[in-house]
Structure 1
Amino acid sequence: MEVIVVCLLLIFHIPLMNGEIQHLDVLSESRNVIMFEDFGFSKGGYISISLSSVFMSSTSTNPVNSSLMGFFYAPSPAFDALEDALFNNSCILGKPFISPIVTFNELSNFSITSINKTIPITSPDLYYVFFLNCAPQTSISMQVNLETYNLNPKGKKDFIDEHFIVSPAIGFSLSALYFIFLLLWIYACYKNRPFVHRIHIFMMALLLVKSLELFSRDETQCFVRFTGTPHGWDIIWLALTFIRTLLFDIVFVLMGSGWSLLTPCLPDIQKLVLALSVLMQIVVDICFIVMQGMGPLIENYSYWVVTFYAVDFSCSMWIVFPVSHTIDNLRESSKTEGKEAITSFQLTLFCSIYICLQAYVYMEKLGIFILRIFLSYKFWWVSVILEQAIEGGVYMLAFYTFRPNEKNDYFVLEERQGEEELVTVSSMPTSVVV
Structure 2
Amino acid sequence: MKFVCFQSFGLQLIFILFSGIVEGRKHHLTLTKDVRRYFTVSTFGFLKGGKLDVQVNELSFVPPNFETKFGFTLIRTNSDSVTPYLENHQDTCLLLDDSSRDDTSINIVSFILDLGKQIINVNCSQMFSTLIIERDQRWNPASETSTRKRRNIGEVTSDSYLLARRKREDKKSQNTLFNKTKDELPSTSTNLKSEAETAEKNTLNNVCSTVQNLPVNKTGNVYSFQFSVVIGDDKHKGLYSLYFHNCANYGKHMEKTMVNLTMTIKEENQGTYLSAGEMPLPHMYFGLSVVFFSVGCFWIYVIRKKKDEAFKIHYLMGLLVFLKSFSLLFHGINFYFIAREGFHIEAWAVLFYITHLLKGALLFITLVLIGTGWAFIKHILSDKEKKIFIIVIPLQFLANVAEIIMEESEEGEAQHTTWREVFILVDLLCCGAILFPVVWSIRHLQEASQTDGKAAMNLEKLKLFRHFYIMIVCYIYFTRIIVYLLKITVPFQYEWLNEFFRETATLGFFVLTGYNFRPTTKNPYFRLSQDDPELEMEEVITQTGLTEGISKSVRSRDPEKECKVSQREISHEFD
* TM bucket, shorter chain: 0.7 to 0.9
Change (3 A) 1:170 1:292: closer
Cα deviations across residues 336-377 of structure 1 (Å, max 9, x unaligned)? 443122212212322221121011122222222233333333
Q: After TM superposition, give the deviation of residue 39 of structure 1 in Å.
A: 1.2
Counterpart for residue 79 of structure 1: 83
Tell me if 1:146 matches 2:156. no
State the partner residue of 2:95: 93
| Contact 1:165–1:384, Cα closer than 8 Å, also in 2 | no
Alignment-derived partner of residue 69 in structure 1: 70
Q: Tell me how far 1:390 sits from its aligned partner.
A: 1.4
Distance (Å, rounded) in 2 between the aligned partners of 1:180 and 1:424: 49
SS of corresponding position for 2:414: coil
- Whether 2:316 is the aligned partner of 1:202: answer yes
Kindly state the Cα deviation for residue 64 of structure 1 after the two structures are TM-superposed: 4.9
**What residue in structure 2 maps to residue 218 of structure 1?**
332
User: 1:28 is aligned with what amino acid?
Assistant: K
Q: How does 1:64-213 map to 2 (within 5 A)?
A: 64-65=67-68, 68-76=69-77, 79-84=83-88, 88=90, 90-95=92-97, 96=100, 97-100=107-110, 103=113, 105=119, 106-107=215-216, 109-110=218-219, 114-121=224-231, 122=233, 123-135=236-248, 137-151=256-270, 156=271, 158-164=272-278, 166-213=280-327
* Structure 2: distance between partners of 1:175 and 1:116: 41
Conserved 8 A contact 1:47-1:148:
yes
The answer to whether the 8 Å contact 2:454/2:529 transfers is: no
Instruction: Give, in angstroms, the shift of residue 207 of structure 1.
Output: 0.8
- SS of the residue 1:118 aligns to: strand
Following TM superposition, where does structure 1 have runs of at least 4 consecutive aligned residues deviating by more than 6 angstroms?
Answer: 421-424
Determine helix, strand or coil for the equivalent of 1:48: strand
The residue correspondences of 1:351-370 to structure 2 (distance < 5 A) are: 351-370=466-485
Q: Pairwise mapping of residues 398-413 of structure 1 onto structure 2 (< 5 A)? A: 398-413=513-528
TM-score (norm 2): 0.65
What pairs with 1:277-316 in structure 2 (closer than 5 Å)?
277-299=392-414, 301-316=416-431
| Compared CA separation, residues 21 and 428, structure 1 to 2 (3 A) | farther
> Which runs of 5 or more structure 1 residues have no equivalent in the other structure?
1-16
Tell me, yes or no, if structure 1 residue 426 matches structure 2 residue 569. no
> Match of 1:50?
55
Where 1:333 maps in the other structure, the secondary structure is helix
The residue number in structure 1 matching 2:33 is 28
Say if 1:197 and 1:260, in contact at 8 Å, map to a contact too: yes
Specify the code of the residue in structure 2 equivalent to 1:117: F
Output one character per residue of 1:294-345: Cα deviation in whole Å (capped at 9) or x when no partner: 2334435434322321321232122122112111111111124431222122
SS in 1 for 2:228: strand
Of stretches 357-366 and 175-184 in structure 1, the one that deviates more from structure 2 is: 357-366
Q: CA deviation at 1:148?
A: 1.2
Question: How big is the alpha-carbon RMSD for the aligned residues of Structure 1 and Structure 2?
Answer: 2.8
Deviation, 1:387, is 1.5
**Equivalent position amino acid for 1:426 in 2:** R
Q: 1-side partners of 2:468 and 2:218: how far apart? A: 67
Aligned-partner residue type, residue 236 of structure 1 = L
Superposed CA offset, 1:5-53 (max 9, x none)? xxxxxxxxxxxx997211222223232222121111111111012232x
Whole-Å Cα distance in 1 between the matches of residues 282 and 414 of structure 2? 33
Give the secondary-structure state (helix, strand or coil) at the position aligned to 2:520: coil
1:191-248 CA distances to partner (integer Å, 9 max, x unpaired)?
A: 2222222211221221111001101110011000111001113332223222211111
Q: CA deviation at 1:180?
A: 0.8
| Alignment correspondent of 2:200 | none
Q: Normalising by structure 1, what TM-score?
A: 0.85
Instruction: Give the 3-state SS of the residue equivalent to 2:525 in structure 1.
Output: helix
Q: Is the 8 A contact 1:19 1:39 kept in 2?
A: no
Gaps of 5+ in 2: 1-21, 101-106, 120-214, 250-255, 533-538, 541-551, 570-575
166 and 248 in structure 1: CA distance in 2 versus 1, 3 angstrom threshold: farther
Q: Residues 367-414 of structure 1, C-alpha deviation per residue, up to 9 Å, x if partnerless?
A: 222333333334333222222221111111111111112332332335
Q: Is the 8 A contact 2:409 2:416 kept in 1?
A: no
Q: Is the 8 A contact 2:461 2:525 kept in 1?
A: yes
The amino acid that maps onto 1:21 is K
Structure having greater relative contact order (Cα 8 Å, sep ≥ 6): 2
Residue pair 1:48, 1:119 contacting (<8 A) in 2 also: yes
Measured against aligned partners, the alpha-carbon deviations of 1:236-293 in whole angstroms (never above 9, x if no partner) come to 2223222211111111011111011111111111111222222321232232122222
Aligned 8 A contact 2:314 2:519 in 1: yes
Give the equivalent residue in structure 2 for 1:373: 488
Is contact 1:18–1:38 with CA below 8 Å preserved after alignment?
A: no
Contact kept in structure 1, 2:76 and 2:241, CA below 8 Å: yes
Kept in 2: contact 1:334–1:343 (CA 8 A): yes
**Counterpart pick for 2:370 among 252, 255, 264:** 255
Residues in 2 aligned to 1:84 and 1:282: alpha-carbon distance in whole angstroms: 38
Select the structure of larger CA radius of gyration: 2
Higher helix share: 1
Q: Which moved more, 1:69-78 or 1:189-198?
A: 69-78
